[in-house]
Amino acid sequence: MSDQLLTKPARFATGPLPVLLAAVLWGTTGTAASFAPAEAGPLSIGAATMGIGGLLLVAMAGRSALDVWRSGRTELLLVGAAAVAVYPLAFYSSMALAGVAIGTVVTLGSAPVFAAILERVVDGVRLDRRWAVAAAVSVIGLLLITGGGDTGVGSQAVLGALLGLLGGAAYVVYSWAAGRMMRGGHGSRSVMGAMFGAGALALLPVLAFTGGPLLGSLSGLLIAGYLAVIPMGLAYVLFGAGLRRTSASVATTLSLLEPVVAALLSVLVVGERLGVVAWCGVGLIGVGLVLVSIRR
């Protein structure tokens, strides 16, 4: 069925909605990781999440993942796989060094900007005012949610912010590469399996060297299993499905729902409290998501 034959509700259900559902699942990672053993480091958590999850996506894709490798678009696939390997290591390390506030703001807040630059430079996409307003409103909301913490401004915070930029850029690169391959005729499950499976090959050695404290206890195994199956496996199947009808710039803006979910879970599950300013940030992100989700 072509895009022209889809109604507006159908376009939303096959494009933005799966991305939003994926962002909801991603928003549970911070709460889940808080129950991991205290000795488990950010590298082991990130490598376990996307390393084991990448193998799961390969298993779900089956032989179709191999067909993607044989398609002749190896260069694009390798670029996406490298970004898959970089993203979790940079993102979790950013939060460990600079705190959850700076790490989240820089990584997720920079993603729509990197996406706009990439699509403009590589694909020649002209972004309209609706996207610009939605991205600006959402990023301001994200700053309000996470800007109230005691994060400090030391050298660790600066390094963490730089790693957050690297994580945001990596997220955009593999989203763009996956979306381009899907729109080139490959199935979403096949592309995600091939790309994340290749990324897992780089992450599993990291897990082998750093994963002892995480995988050495029952609680750590349960946390690693949840992170690999739900926020990684299931969420990226949904994300891949949404990318077939959603550009990387829109998808990365929609994914700003993730910190909203994370903030809500921190209140309901972890027991943290949000101030009035943070709740205003939640509302602004909601407005931005509505703007970017609805087509003219």
pLDDT tens sequence across 90-128: 988 887 787 666 676 677 777 777 887 887 788 777 767
Q: How far apart are CA 195 and CA 153, in angstroms?
A: 36
pLDDT in tens, 193-237: 999 999 999 999 999 999 888 888 888 999 999 999 998 888 888
Q: How far apart are CA 296 and CA 294, in angstroms?
A: 7
Q: How far apart are CA 66 and CA 74, in angstroms?
A: 11
Query: Residues 47-71: what's their mean pLDDT?
Result: 88
pLDDT in tens, 141-160: 767 765 554 444 456 767 88
Q: At what angle do helices 257-265 and 129-146 cross, to 10 degrees?
A: 20
- Predicted TM-score of the model (pTM): 0.79
**Residues 211 and 83 sit within 8 Å (Cβ to Cβ):** no
**Residues 36 and 223 sit within 8 Å (Cβ to Cβ):** yes
- Residue-range definition of the domain harbouring residue 269: 3-293
CA angle 244, 246, 252 (to 5 degrees): 120
Q: How far apart are CA 57 and CA 245, in angstroms?
A: 20
Q: How far apart are CA 103 and CA 167, in angstroms?
A: 9
Q: How many domains does the chain have?
A: 1
Q: Is the pLDDT of residue 3 over 70?
A: no
